[in-house]
Chains A and B, each alone.
Chain A
Amino acid sequence: MEAIRFEKVYFSYEAEDERGGEVFGSDSFALGGVDLTVEEGEFVAVLGHNGSGKSTLARLTNGLLSPSSGEITVLGLDARDEKNLFEIRKQVGIVFQNPDNQTVASIVEDDIAFGPENIGTPREEIGRRIEFALGAVGMEEFRGATPARLSGGQKQRVAIAGVLALKPRVMILDESTAMLDPRGRKEVMDVVLRLNREEKITVLLITHFPEEALLADRAVVMSRGKIVMEGKPAEVLTRKDELEKYALTMPRPIHICKELTAGGLPVADAMTAETLTENILSSLKEKPAVDLPSVTDERKAFYEDGEIGRVVCENLSYVYNPSQPFRTHALTGASLEIYPGDFFGILGHTGSGKSTFVQHLNALLKTPTAEKKYKPKKPKKGAPIPPKTVLVVDGYDLTDKKTDFKELRSKVGMVFQYPEYQLFAETVFEDVAFGLKNFKKGLSEDEIKTAVREALETVGLTYDEVKNRSPFELSGGQKRRVAIAGVIVTKPEILVLDEPAAGLDPLGKEEIMSLLHKIHKDWCKTVVIVSHDMDEIAENCTRAAIFAEGKVVAVDSPKTLFKDADELKRLGLDTPFTAKLVKGLAEKGVELDCDFTVDDFVRKTLAYAAEGGSHA
C-alpha cells in the first residue's frame, strides 16, 4: 500500500501567509509540481540544500500546510480535507529540527504522554505506550528526567518517543539531526533505522547530510521546489557533478573513492569505513600503475614569538555557584598554551569544561583574583599553598583585577554558537558597528564606515547590498556571516568561535571553514574553535587540545592526537573518518603516515600504491 502520494503538488508560501519572502523569492513556488510516492514500510531520504522545499514537503503531508494545487494522499486519506487531519496526524508523526522546541512538559514521561492524551487514550494504555516508546528509543532510565538536563541526541530521542507513543505508521524526520553533534546524530539515526526495520514504520527522512541518506532504501534530491534526482542512495549519491549542481556534497567515503580513482587507484564505491578499507586493500593488491603524486606542502603553522595572539594558561580552576549545594567544578586545574599563529581546536564532550575555559579567554568568566572585590588573603600557616594560576591572553594578565578587561575584549573576539540569534539592530550596518562603537569611542563616521565595509567584505558579503537591510530578512548563512563580521570588525588578534559550523549543511560548513582560514590569514593571528566534529578538527586545525573532567588531557597536532583511537574512545570521543581508515589499513599491514586530512590520506595512499607497497 502507498503510505504517501504527492501528485503534481504546487505550494507557495505567499498564498499561505506572510511567512515567505525570506527563503524563497517573491515569485517562486516553494514546491513547483512534485510527484512522489512512498510505499508503506519504505525508508526514503529527501536531500536538498536550504530552501529547496524539502521541509515544506513534511508540513504538507500532515496538514500543517495545505497545497495551492495538486493532490496529496496519506494512507488512503485526502490530506487536503480538514476532516481527515486528526486521523492523518495520528498516523503520521513528525520530529522537528530543534530538540528544545517540541517538548511541552518538564518531565520526560509527561511529555511522551502528551500525544496519547490528546487523542483520548485511556490511562493504563498511556502508561504502556510510554514504556514501549521509551524502550524503542533506548531511554527507559530517563522516564522521570528533566529534558533540560539531557544532551541534544537524548532530547531528540525523547521527541521521537513522543511521536511513537501515538503509534504512527509513518514517521517524518524534518532535519531532526541538523542541530546535533556527530554522536547525537548517530544515536538518532540508529533509532530511526531500527524503527524502520523492526517496527516496520515508514520513514521519510529529510536531511542535508548525504551520509544519512545512505541508510535509506531510496534517495530523492530536491532543488528549487522540484524533485531532480531519484534512485538507490548508492547510485544517486555517486553522481558528483549533478550533486554539485544542486549544492550538495557526496558522502565522505564516496568522495575518497572518487579521489583515489582519479589519482589512478580505482577503488569500488563504498559506504562505510569498513568496506572502504577492504576495497582499498583489494585495489592495492592488484598493483595498479599509479604515478607518484606530487608532494604538496604539508599543512604547516607559522608560529610567531611575542605575546600578541598567545594564550598561556596554567592551573585554571572554576567553580559554578561556589556557595550553593549544587556547585559544580567545571575546571580543575587546566593548563595549556596556544601559540600565535595557531588554528587551534578544542575538543571534549559536554561537561568537560571546554566552554568554561573558552569563556575565560575574554574575561566573560574571571578567576577569583580578577574579581573587583577580591582582596588577597593571608595564607594560613601550615596550609598547603595552592598552585599558582596563570592566565595570560594576548599579553593581558587575566588574574589581575587591574587589567583593562574592556580593552582585552576588543583584542579577543568571541563568536558564540548560533551567533545569528544575537543580531538585534535595525540594519546590518548598525549591528556590525555595535561592537566597534562600544570599544572605540570617538571614531569618525568615515572610520566606522570603512571598518564595517572591510569586515562585511571579508565575510563575503557585498557592503552596498546589505548595509541598509534588516539583518532579519537575510538567509541563515548570511546572518551568521553578519554576526561574525560584527566580531571581527574591531580587528581582534585572537578569534574564538564556539561550534562555528553548527547546524549548517556540508557545503555551508565548508564555506564557513574556508572563511575562517581567510580570517586567520588576513585578520586574526590566532583562531580557536570549539568543535564536536573530529573531521572538522582534523581537516582544519594546526593543533588541538582535549578537555576531560575539567582538565586538559592532551595538546598536540591532529596527526598525533588522532593516532590513539583507544584513548579517544575512553574519553568518549570519536576519531575522524580518515583515522578509521588508517587504523583499518594498518591492521592489514598497510602503514600510512598521514595527518588525517582527506587530501593527505588520498595522497599517501596513492604514494603507497605507486611504490608498490614496498615500504610496508
Chain B
Amino acid sequence: MREVSFGQYYPAKSFVHKCDPRAKILFLIVYIVAVFLGKNFYALGACAFVFVLVAAFSGVPFKSLLRSVKAVLFLLVFMTVLNLFFYKGETILWQWKFIKISKEAIYYTIFLAVRLFLLVLGSSLLTLTTTPVSLADGIESLLSPLKLIRFPVHELALIMSIALRFIPILTDETQRIMNAQKARGADFESGGLVGRVKAIIPILIPLLISAFRRADELGDAMDARCYSGSKVRTKYKKLTFSWRDYLALLSCAALLAGVILLRIYTTALI
C-alpha cells in the first residue's frame, strides 16, 4: 500500500508541535509583521534569533527546513540579481554601460534576501509542525468573530475539512485512472502541448464524474446524520490554550516590541 502524504507535516512530539494552532498562527502573523517592520540588520537579527530558538524547540531537522527554501530559491536569486543591478545607490563600485553596482545596493540586496529567507522559513515551520486538520481548526476558530457579520465561518471550515479528507482518496483515484489508461496505451509523457492536453481528457473526465458521484453520496450521508448547518450545532473538539501558548504569545509580543524599539532608536538601512 502506498503512503499518501501531502503538505509537509513533520511528525514529532515537540514543544512547538504541542502548541495550539491558533497560538502558532498568531505567532507567525506577528513574526511576519516584525520581519517587515525591521529596517536594519539589528531588527532582522532579532527575528532570526527568535526563529532559530523556535526551530530548535520544534524538533524539525534543519534539512527539512531547508527543503522548503529550495522551492523559492529561483525567486530569491531572481530578486537578488534584479536589485543588485538596478538599485540606485551613491557609492558606485563597478559600472558597465547603464548597469551600476553600488555599495548600498549590495547591502540592500543582502537585507532583502535575508528578509525573504526568514519569511519562508517561518511559514514553513508552521506547516511542518501543524497538521492540515488542526491548521483548519485554528483558522476556523480565529475567524469565528466574523460570524457576527454573517460570514459563513462554519461552512468554510467544513469545506476545508472535507477537502482535506478527500485529497488522499482523489490522489489514489487519479493514480489508478492514470495507470488504467496507461495500460490502454495512453502516453502522458511525450507529444506537444496539444497532444498532452488531449491526453489529460481520459483522466479528467472519469475523475470529475467520480468526484460528483462522491459529492452526491457524501451529501446524502451528511443529511442522514442530521446535518442541517443550524445554530444548535455544538463542537466536540475545543481548542484550549495552555501555558505553552501563553509563553509563545508573550515571546512574540516581546519580539514585536523589540523590533519597534529598534525602529525608533537605530538608524534605518533603507
Number of interface residues of B (CB under 8 A): 54
Residues in A16-31 with C-beta less than 8 Å from chain B: none
A362 contacts B183, C-beta separation under 8 Å: yes
B165 contacts A117, C-beta separation under 8 Å: no
A103 contacts B165, C-beta separation under 8 Å: yes
In the complex, identify which listed stretch (B1-9, B38-46, B144-152, B245-253) lies at the interface while the others stay far away: B1-9
A113 contacts B161, C-beta separation under 8 Å: no
Q: Does A105 contact B (CB under 8 A)?
A: yes
- Least CB distance, A37 to chain B, in whole angstroms: 22
B183 contacts A117, C-beta separation under 8 Å: no
How far, in angstroms, from A413 to B220 measured CA to CA in the complex? 37
B183 contacts A364, C-beta separation under 8 Å: yes
- Least CB distance, B124 to chain A, in whole angstroms: 17
A118 contacts B227, C-beta separation under 8 Å: yes
Q: Which residue of A lies closest to B201 (CB)?
A: A424
How far, in angstroms, from A180 to B182 measured CA to CA in the complex? 27
- Residues on the B chain within 8 Å of A109, using CB: 236
A64 contacts B224, C-beta separation under 8 Å: yes
B209 contacts A472, C-beta separation under 8 Å: yes
In the complex, identify which listed stretch (B29-37, B93-101, B184-192) lies at the interface while the others stay far away: B184-192
B225 contacts A115, C-beta separation under 8 Å: yes
How far, in angstroms, from A103 to B158 measured CA to CA in the complex? 12
- Residues on the A chain within 8 Å of B213, using CB: 101
Given A104-B161, A117-B233, A320-B3, do A409 and B202 touch, yes or no (CB 8 Å)? no
B224 contacts A122, C-beta separation under 8 Å: no
Q: Which residue of B lies closest to A165 (CB)?
A: B225
Name A163's contact: one of B176, B184, B209, B225 (CB within 8 Å): B225
Q: Which residue of A lies closest to B231 (CB)?
A: A120
How far, in angstroms, from A94 to B133 measured CA to CA in the complex? 26
Name B226's contact: one of A86, A110, A472 (CB within 8 Å): A86
Q: Does B56 contact A (CB under 8 A)?
A: no
B168 contacts A148, C-beta separation under 8 Å: yes
Name A166's contact: one of B3, B186, B226, B228 (CB within 8 Å): B226
Q: Does B217 contact A (CB under 8 A)?
A: yes
Name A122's contact: one of B132, B201, B234 (CB within 8 Å): B234
Q: Which residue of B lies closest to A121 (CB)?
A: B234
How far, in angstroms, from A147 to B3 measured CA to CA in the complex? 13
Name A96's contact: one of B176, B186, B210, B221 (CB within 8 Å): B221
- Least CB distance, B214 to chain A, in whole angstroms: 5
- Residues on the A chain within 8 Å of B220, using CB: 59, 64, 96
Q: Does B194 contact A (CB under 8 A)?
A: no
Number of interface residues of A (CB under 8 A): 72
Given A89-B226, A101-B218, do A148 and B169 touch, yes or no (CB 8 Å)? yes
- Residues on the B chain within 8 Å of A490, using CB: 185
In the complex, identify which listed stretch (A7-15, A210-218, A233-241, A431-439) lies at the interface while the others stay far away: A431-439
Residues in A68-127 with C-beta less than 8 Å from chain B: 86, 89-90, 93-94, 96-98, 100-107, 109-110, 113-123, 126-127
A105 contacts B161, C-beta separation under 8 Å: yes
Q: Does B156 contact A (CB under 8 A)?
A: no
The listed residue with most A CB atoms (<10 A of its CB), out of B181, B224, B237, is B224
Q: Does A577 contact B (CB under 8 A)?
A: no
B185 contacts A409, C-beta separation under 8 Å: yes
How far, in angstroms, from A107 to B236 measured CA to CA in the complex? 13
A90 contacts B226, C-beta separation under 8 Å: yes
Main secondary structure of the interface of B (DSSP, over half): helix
A409 contacts B183, C-beta separation under 8 Å: yes
Q: Does B254 contact A (CB under 8 A)?
A: no
How far, in angstroms, from A439 to B195 measured CA to CA in the complex? 16
Q: Does A486 contact B (CB under 8 A)?
A: yes
- Residues on the A chain within 8 Å of B5, using CB: 326
Q: Does B264 contact A (CB under 8 A)?
A: no
B4 contacts A162, C-beta separation under 8 Å: no
Given A406-B185, A434-B184, A435-B185, do A100 and B214 touch, yes or no (CB 8 Å)? yes
A328 contacts B1, C-beta separation under 8 Å: yes
Given A86-B226, A110-B236, do A422 and B214 touch, yes or no (CB 8 Å)? no
A123 contacts B236, C-beta separation under 8 Å: yes
- Least CB distance, B187 to chain A, in whole angstroms: 7
The listed residue with most A CB atoms (<10 A of its CB), out of B165, B226, B230, is B226
Given A98-B217, A406-B185, A419-B180, do A86 and B228 touch, yes or no (CB 8 Å)? yes
Residues in B114-135 with C-beta less than 8 Å from chain A: 132-133
- Residues on the A chain within 8 Å of B164, using CB: 106
How far, in angstroms, from A166 to B214 measured CA to CA in the complex? 23
Q: Does A475 contact B (CB under 8 A)?
A: no
Q: Does A66 contact B (CB under 8 A)?
A: no
Q: Does B71 contact A (CB under 8 A)?
A: no
Residues in B193-226 with C-beta less than 8 Å from chain A: 201-203, 205-206, 209-210, 213-214, 217-218, 220-226
A350 contacts B1, C-beta separation under 8 Å: yes
Q: Which 9 residue pairs across A and B have the least CB separation, nearest first? A: A438-B185, A435-B184, A120-B232, A102-B221, A113-B236, A414-B183, A424-B205, A101-B217, A115-B225
* Residues of chain B at the chain A interface (Cβ within 8 Å): 1-5, 132-133, 158, 161-162, 164-165, 168-169, 173, 176-177, 179-187, 201-203, 205-206, 209-210, 213-214, 217-218, 220-228, 230, 232-238
Jot down 19 A-B pairs with beta carbons below 8 A, ordered by A. Answer: A64-B224, A93-B224, A101-B218, A102-B218, A104-B162, A106-B132, A106-B165, A117-B234, A117-B236, A127-B236, A130-B236, A330-B1, A364-B182, A364-B183, A409-B185, A416-B179, A416-B180, A416-B183, A422-B177
